[in-house]
Amino acid sequence: MILHGNSDPLVPHNQGEQFYMALNKACKDAIFISLPKAPHGNSNGFLTDDSLREAATMRSTVSAGCAVANPMPYRPAWKTVIDFLDRYMK
């Protein structure tokens, strides 16, 4: 799971996209959540602040069959992270 703010002044947004695309190309399970208004490092805000989550999108790749989902509007929350960790870290 990659959560990346498009307004991040420290890590360019395209680095998160490139990492996601590398996972995508390797047919690995991956989720990329892009937050156009979010800066660097405020993960709690990414998941709780509606002004930062506004216009967020999610795209994903599933290793089974290398299925790719196009970006779609998405409002991330702590449940997003918990569900991801529950699924992939057990």
In this prediction, residue 42 carries a pLDDT of: 73
Q: Is 30 exposed, middle or buried (0-12, 13-18, 19+ CB in 10 A)?
A: buried
Picking from 52, 46, 51, 39, the residue whose alpha carbon sits closest to that of residue 11 is: 39
In tens digits, the chain (90 residues) has pLDDT values of 999 999 999 999 999 999 999 999 999 999 999 999 999 987 888 999 999 999 999 999 988 888 888 899 999 999 999 999 999 897
In this prediction, residue 38 carries a pLDDT of: 92
The whole-angstrom separation of Cα 46 and Cα 5 is 8
Q: Is 6 exposed, middle or buried (0-12, 13-18, 19+ CB in 10 A)?
A: middle
